[in-house]
Structure 1
Amino acid sequence: MQESVWKPGAMAVGNINELPETILLELFTHVPARQLLLRCRLVCSLWRDLIDLVTLWKRKCLREGFISEDWDQPVADWKIFYFLQSLHRNLLHNPCAEEGFEFWSLDVNGGDEWKVEDLSRDQRKEFPNDQVKKYFVTSYYTCLKSQVVDLKAEGYWEELMDTTRPDIKVKDWFAARPDCGSKYQLCVQLLSSAHAPLGTFQPDPATIQQKSDAKWREVSHTFSNYPPGVRYIWFQHGGVDTHYWAGWYGPRVTNSSITIGPPAALMSPSPHAQNADCVSPLRPERWSEAQACPALPGIPPPTPLSANPECRQGATGAAKGRDSRSVLACGLPQNAPYLPAHTSWVRPTPADELGPAGTPMSAEPRTSACFFRAKASAFEGLCPHLAPTAAMALVSINELLPENILLEVFTYVPARQLLLRCRPVCSFWRDLIDVVTLWKRKSLQEGFITEDWDEPVADWKVFYFLCSLRRNLLRNPCAEEGMTSWHIDSNGGDQWKVESLPGDHGTDFPGPKVNKYFVTSYELCLKSQLVDLKAEGYWEELMDKFRPDIVVTDWFAARADCGCTYSIRVQLVSADYITLATFEPPPVTIHQWNDATWTEVTHTFSDYPPGVRHILFQHGGTDTQFWAGWYGPRVTNSSIVISPKMTRSPAPSTAQPRPKVGEEGKC
């Protein structure tokens, strides 16, 4: 198939708004919800009205499995219902102790301190959730631990929380040992942006007597109709044993959860919800404000487009008086968040069937032609008056849409959905999705390249995926979270410590975003991280066949008044932890009375053996004067970045440290 090239005059071939509105509505069901509101809804009044239909959001809920075919519970706002259901999950991290005390703040750690234990076989049978295998246990002095949930970081924007005020459901499970009494306590608070309490759930402590049945007990509470302004949720629980026995005889806790769901008011009957589907969604002239979904809180209404000459309908337009513009003609916002869709037209390809760059190994089309089939049962359930006729029972989108329009539509579909779901539909879609033009335009749309890009790229599809995955794979590189995410391999002298820049006898970092650093002591201090590439999104065939460049960077400095020795070691290892490649330059010794300048060391792994599944990063050092305190090398702003390999040879990287001044930090 010849590569399709977009030409400015190509829009004369046809306008996407000339499609039957049933087809447009079906297309919108496969577009990610945030893209519908932040990009598609702003294109023209026709798209705005279609996207505001109750029918669209009810069908998206059905496709995602949020409701079933026989759902009969009324919903006041299907758009809000869809977003709340798509965000629904446990907001507490590590609730069942599978990761030790990761994510928990140990507020009080009395007695023999908190401990993690395994559920016995008998306990597993008794616990209602067979996925729970561990629990936290307290001791003979009070033990309390907590988490703070940042709602905005979890995807719940401010207007959604203030206007809709969804139900916040809190649950916790606790039990006592049968041979010892215990006292369990729980406190949950809804906090404002200034951390002022807006709602509190704090039941009386539960005391369980000695020789109890040791059964697991659930405590739950639902916050509803709380004041506006909730931005955080603080969860704290724990307890103490009542016999003051050494060891871990206090209450056991596990399977804690905070979930946010649709409020009762959203599920109540309303004339709007009941009548919206009783009016034809295909006749814009019959729409009214009472028949369309209200705009989502926090999403601004679209600007009227009728005054824009580029958006006016010509003599050959779909209907007089309707603002109609194509996706390309007036463009869509390029800075909106890009979220993956979870809808499908065909069965998704399992991960083990994927070939290079996520393409299915089998090139056989799943269907002989690409069709949107309008099922009578689905249409009748969503819109009783829209029972499909024989003429609309089978409509080929490939016959209705010019190739350039279909290519433009594909630029707004998430990349993984293109490969896993759209590409297997038919040979025409497969060939269209494989053209270079599509992936080059997606790269331009996402800002991975500029209009004047002239550097050759061997494979634009792989280039796009690597650019979309590109980030620092090391967590907490600049000590903003203390020693979190780092494994302390050696902790000699006065041990590792975190200090603020510039530090005693130090200098400022070249980049303004770096504010802290790690510092070593008078005996060897080493710390490390192990990066799991598959967990970070880099599948096996991508690493083995294309072998993208792996760029490692670290920054170190010495105190001006003390000498030190710095060392770094980076290894590419296989799934069995066999070393496949190593970067380990000789240790760097800096003498006393130096200029304390920050120095960068960098190395690029390329053309390494196949089979790389993990990356081990380790660095540290010691001072050369053996002074008590923290006089060893300072390290910060470490990074591991996987980048596309260009056709043209990249600039040679150096394995030897070199000072870099004026570059911005990469935290």
Structure 2
Amino acid sequence: MILSGIPEGALLEILSLVPAYDLILRCRLVCSLWRDIIDSPALWKKKCQRDGLVSKLSQRIPPDWRMFCFFHLKKKNLLKNSCASEGFQHWNIEENSGDEWKIEQLPGAHGQPFPDEKVKDYFVTSYGMCLKSQLIDLEAEGYPGHWMDAMQPDIVIRDWYAARHDCGSMYVLDVQLLSKEKTIIEGFLPDQIFIEQWSDAKWSQIEHRFKNYGPGVRYILFRHGGKDTQFWAGWYGIRVTNSSILIDPGDLSTYGDKTETFGYVLILILMIYFVLYHIEEVRSRSLCEIGTTNMWAPYSLKRNLINNPWALDDFNGWTIKENGGDKWKIEDMPGGLGEEIPNPFVTKYFVTSYRSCKKSQLINLKNEGFSDDIMDNFQPSIVITDWFAGRRDCGCEYELLIQLLSKDKKTLHEFHPKPVVLPEGSNSQWKHITHTFSNYGPGVRYIYFEHGGKDTKTWAGWYGVRVTNSSVIIMI
């Protein structure tokens, strides 16, 4: 085996160049040596240095280098619709006095431009108190409780506010870190800010960073608003926009101290392509060919047999069975009026249209390394998982069909649940369906996977069900 001659130090250098999700979901499955290297703090420290997340001269050490890396990869604004581009969606209106909340375009009457030209709109209050809020579920956003407790990353709150030039106003902000039971662990409640009439109307930012808040934080409550101070009918109160909550593991970087030359980096890149080229050679071997004492066997077989489950390679690997309406399409997560999937590595999905769209894969078990003897004598469990979601503004229908087939492609066993209908106005969160085939008897040689659906409103475009992260795993 050509891979066995590469020193562990060289492998660590090579693997540190691989994207994080490929390390966990692909490279880690190759063999026990690669698994141990990828599980080591040294690999993730090296990767953080290469990605510019930490200086080689830094004296600070995070509790877990891998978590530190993934917290940076996941970094995003957890507040949805922070710039009023989707009306009041995702916001809970707690108080709506006077002439109620309203959305206006920047710069607004007697206002100033916003520092970021990408921000086009703002929320504006009236002469009675107006408050709105969002409750962020950290687990649902991809931050597991044990990660939050172990790392306790900084939680950075930012909000922008401004007044009209011709009217005074008042601004309030309240942020709470909550436990699983939604009891307050720590809070930020600054004094009310009063802006006098005839101010310069420039936008101001308020920022707070939660640190060392202890274990147990599972939710973040963000609440802001205000009113005008002269009780004028209309919308003369405080204006707010571009609010943000970021989970920040900290900055350990000092840029400009990289010592690798261009030639050294180029050599490493060539080496990684050389090594990864042989992964499929290893994976394609059957258990009988490898032998039960070979360390590659358990890691090469237990893997996802679906090719291109995350739409990273267009429609390669898939057979389009039905392509109705405006046909299948690939979109970036979370998509219009959608939600992020809990898996932070999944960045794309397949989406259907207003007529039935279905696609499939036929898995040849022998080609995937599962010999007839393994399938007939051991009958390992076959676990099927598929993820699907709809848009908030349109209903959709999802379908799934799984068949275990014989050598002649006759159906031996089948899983064909009733179509799942997601009504208009649903929360658009990703859902998954799982089925396990066990004790299915001898003769299984192929697995047929088919899924898809459509929207239920027959709207032109891509308003149908979304699917991604499909998997077929044989539990060797």
TM-score bracket for this pair, using the shorter chain length: 0.5 to 0.7
| Offset at residue 642 of structure 1 (A) | 7.9
Q: Is the 8 A contact 1:134 1:254 kept in 2?
A: yes
- Structure 1 residues 340, 58: closer, same or farther in 2, change over 3 A? farther
Q: How much has 1:149 moved relative to structure 2?
A: 1.0
Q: Which residue of 1 aligns with 2:192?
A: 205
Runs of at least 5 residues in structure 2 that lack an aligned partner in the other structure = 255-290, 319-344, 349-360, 370-374, 377-383, 396-416, 429-449, 469-476
Determine the C-alpha separation between the residues in 2 that align with 1:157 and 1:485: 29
**SS at 2:126's partner residue?**
coil
2:207 corresponds, among 201, 220, 226, to 220
Show the 5 A alignment for 1:243-282: 243-263=230-250
Counterpart position of 1:474: 390
User: How many Å apart are 1:147 and its aligned residue?
Assistant: 0.7
The one-letter amino acid of 1:259's match is L
Q: Is 1:570 the counterpart of 2:471 in the alignment?
A: no
Counterpart in the other structure of 1:76? 61
- How far did 1:175 drift? 0.5
2:35 is the counterpart of 1:119: no
User: Hey, what's the Cα distance between the residues in 2 that align with 1:148 and 1:181?
Assistant: 29
Residues in 2 aligned to 1:38 and 1:355: alpha-carbon distance in whole angstroms: 19
Cα distance in 1, alignment partners of residues 308 and 451 from structure 2: 26
Question: What does the per-residue CA deviation read over 1:516-568, in whole Å, with 9 as the maximum and x for residues that have no partner?
Answer: x97xxxxxxxx799x9xxxxxxxxxxxxxxxx9964486xxxxxxxxxxxxxx
Q: Give, in angstroms, the shift of residue 441 of structure 1.
A: 7.1
Question: SS of the residue aligned with 1:61?
Answer: helix
TM-score under structure 2 length normalisation: 0.58
AA aligned opposite 1:244: F
**8 Å CA contact retained: 2:109, 2:164:** no
Distance 1:15 1:330, change over 3 A: farther
- Over residues 126-180 of structure 1, what are the superposed CA-to-partner deviations in whole Å (9 max), with x where a residue is unaligned? 5322221111100111111111111111111111111211110101010111111
Deviation, 1:45, is 5.9
Structure 1 residues 170 and 549: CA distance shift in structure 2, 3 A: closer
Write the mapping of 1:475-514 to structure 2, written as runs, cut at 5 A.
475=391, 485-486=393-394
User: Partners in 2 of 1:183 and 1:86 — Cα distance?
Assistant: 37
Q: Deviations over 1:165-197 (max 9, x none)?
A: 111010101011111111100000001111111
Determine the C-alpha separation between the residues in 2 that align with 1:137 and 1:113: 9
2:105 equivalent to 1:105: no
In percent, how many aligned pairs have the same letter? 44
Q: What CA deviation, in whole Å up to 9, does each residue of 1:223-279 have, x standing for no partner?
A: 111121000100000001111111101100011110111258x789xxxxxxxxxxx
Q: Tell me the distance in 1 between the aligned counterparts of 2:366 and 2:75.
A: 30
Q: Quick one: structure 1 residues 27 and 355, their matched pair in 2 at CA, closer, same or farther if it must change by over 3 Å?
A: same
8 Å CA contact retained: 2:225, 2:240: yes
Distance 1:87 1:203 in 2: 28
* Mapped contact 1:142–1:238 kept (Cα < 8 A): yes
What secondary structure, in the 3-state scheme, does the structure 1 residue paired with 2:100 have?
A: coil
| Cα distance in 2 for residues equivalent to 1:94 and 1:193 | 25
Q: Which residue is 2:174 aligned to?
A: 187
Instruction: Report what 1:86 is aligned to.
Output: 73
The answer (yes or no) to whether the contact 2:93–2:133 under 8 Å persists in 1 is yes
How far residue 473 of structure 1 moved from its aligned partner, in angstroms, is 5.4
Q: CA deviation at 1:339?
A: 11
2:6 to 5, 19, 34: 19
| Letter of the structure 2 residue corresponding to residue 92 of structure 1 | L
Q: Give me the whole-angstrom Cα distance separating, in 1, the residues matched to 2:250 and 2:425.
A: 45
Deviation at 1:118, TM superposition (A): 0.9
Rg comparison, structure with higher value: 1
Q: 1:109 to 1:511 in 2, by over 3 A?
A: farther
Distance 1:244 1:332, change over 3 A: farther
Taking a change above 3 Å as real, the CA distance of residues 332 and 473 of structure 1, as seen in their structure-2 partners, is same
Equivalent in the alignment of 1:500: none
8 Å contact 2:29–2:300 — kept in the other structure?
A: no
Q: Which amino acid aligns with 1:196?
A: T
Instruction: Name the aligned partner's letter for residue 169 of structure 1.
Output: V
Secondary structure, aligned partner of 1:244: coil
Equivalent position of 2:352 in the other structure: none
How far apart, CA to CA, are the structure 1 residues paired with 2:453 and 2:101?
40
**Cα deviation, residue 107, structure 1:** 1.1
Q: Which has the larger share of strand?
A: 2
2:70 is matched by which residue type in structure 1?
Answer: F
Q: Secondary structure at the match of 1:144?
A: strand
- Find the aligned partners of 2:109 and 2:84 in 1 and give their Cα distance: 19
Q: Secondary structure at the match of 1:570?
A: coil
Distance 1:66 1:229 in 2: 26
Residue identity in the other structure for 1:160: W
1:124 and 1:103 map into 2 onto residues whose CA distance is: 26
TM-score by length of 1: 0.42
Q: Is 1:240–2:227 an aligned residue pair?
A: yes
How many angstroms apart in 1 are the aligned matches of 2:171 and 2:149?
33
Q: How does 1:220-369 map to 2 (within 5 A)?
A: 220-263=207-250, 325-326=295-296, 328-331=297-300, 334=303, 357=316
- C-alpha distance in 1, partners of 2:28/2:451? 39
Where do 1:135-146 residues align within 5 Å?
135-146=122-133
> How far 1:100 sits from its partner (Å)?
1.4
In 1, are the aligned partners of 2:110 and 2:165 still within 8 Å (CA)?
no
Is the contact made by 1:124 and 1:132 (CA closer than 8 Å) also made in structure 2? no
What's the offset of the Cα at 1:333?
5.3
Separation in 2, partners of 1:85, 1:260: 8
- The superposition leaves residues 407-426 of structure 1 with CA deviations (integer Å, 9 ceiling, x where unpaired) of xxxxxxx9999xxxxxxxxx
AA aligned to 1:46 is L
Which residue is 1:501 aligned to?
Answer: none
Shift of the 553–149 alpha-carbon distance from structure 1 to 2, 3 Å rule, reads: closer
* Cα drift, residue 439 of structure 1: 7.8
Could you tell me how far 1:40 is from its partner in structure 2? Answer: 5.8
Distance 1:47 1:169 in 2: 36
Alignment CA distance shift 1:39-1:171 (3 Å): same
The 3-state SS of whatever aligns with 2:43 is helix
Partner in structure 1 of residue 444 of structure 2: none
Q: What residue is the counterpart of 1:626 in the other structure?
A: none
Q: How does 1:29-40 map to 2 (within 5 A)?
A: 29=16, 31-33=18-20, 36=23
How far, CA to CA, are the matches of 2:389 and 2:103 in structure 1? 29
Q: Distance in 2 between matches of 1:512 and 1:146?
A: 36
Partner of 2:48: 61
Q: Identify the structure with bigger relative contact order (alpha carbons < 8 Å, sequence gap 6+).
A: 2
Partner of 2:242: helix, strand, or coil? strand
CA–CA separation in structure 2 for the residues paired with 1:311 and 1:245 = 81
Q: Distance in 1 between matches of 2:140 and 2:250?
A: 21
Task: Please say if residues 32 and 299 of structure 2, whose CA atoms lie closer than 8 Å, have aligned partners that are also in contact.
Answer: no
1:485 deviates by: 2.6
Q: Which amino acid in the other structure matches residue 97 of structure 1?
A: A
Q: Aligned pairs, how many?
A: 337
Distance in structure 2 (CA, Å) of the matches to 1:120 and 1:642: 40
Which letter does structure 2 place at the counterpart of 1:96? C
Q: Secondary structure of the equivalent of 1:226?
A: coil
Which residue pairs with 1:654 in the alignment? none
Q: CA deviation at 1:217?
A: 1.0
- Rounded to whole Å, the distance in 2 between the matches of 1:179 and 1:166 is 42
* Structure 1 CA distance for aligned equivalents of residues 367 and 388 of structure 2: 20
Going by fraction, where is helix more abundant, 1 or 2?
Answer: 1
The 2-side partners of 1:48 and 1:472 are apart by: 30
